[in-house]
Amino acid sequence: MGTGIYALAQHLTSEGIPSPSAYDPDRNKHRCGLAWSKSAVRTILRNPRYTGYQVWNRQRKQESLIDVEDVALGHRTRLAWNPREEWIFSDQQVHPALVSREVFEEVQLRIGSRGPTSSGRALRTRHHYALKGLMVCGVCGRRMQ
């Protein structure tokens, strides 16, 4: 334990372990697949599904009125995260694990102890980019960020 996400990504790449985009290039035509990215490693370490267990009740739909003065406009539905103690894990593994439950729990504790509040950093504010979402990838059709 104690290895950072960047070092893990470098190690996986140097060991020749195919990254998700290299393993399934048909689903990832917009990525080169040459190396592991930090974001792929972080996603795997943050998602309990990679422990091999099925996980239910991670999110819930949250509905709110679009305009309280005009109920006829309807509702806006957004997904919201449930607290971790409300997640439900299957009793048995349903597929091979990439990360053990012990490692997953340790990573969650470490990630949870970090962040802007623990280090004194200021929270980032959302930037409004004028061209956000207007450019589209010619290969896969996804909107550029």
Is pLDDT above 80 for 28?
Answer: no
**CB-based burial label for 51 (10 Å; 0-12, 13-18, 19+):** buried
What is the token pair recorded at 38? 């930090």
pLDDT in tens, 43-64: 999 999 999 999 999 999 999 9
Is pLDDT above 60 for 1?
Answer: no
Confidence band of 78 (pLDDT split at 50, 70, 90): very high
What's residue 37's pLDDT?
87
Is pLDDT above 90 for 94?
Answer: yes
| Phi, psi of 39, rounded to the nearest 5 degrees | -65, -35
What's residue 142's pLDDT?
79
What is the token pair recorded at 58? 């991670």
- Alpha-carbon torsion 45, 47, 52, 53, what sign? positive
- Alpha-carbon torsion 47, 124, 113, 12, what sign? positive
Mean pLDDT along residues 120-144: 72
| Distance (Å, whole) CA 129 – CA 132 | 5
Q: What percent of the chain has pLDDT over 90?
A: 34
Is pLDDT above 70 for 25?
Answer: yes
What's residue 138's pLDDT?
84
Ramachandran region of residue 10, left (φ > 0), alpha (ψ -120 to 50) or beta? alpha
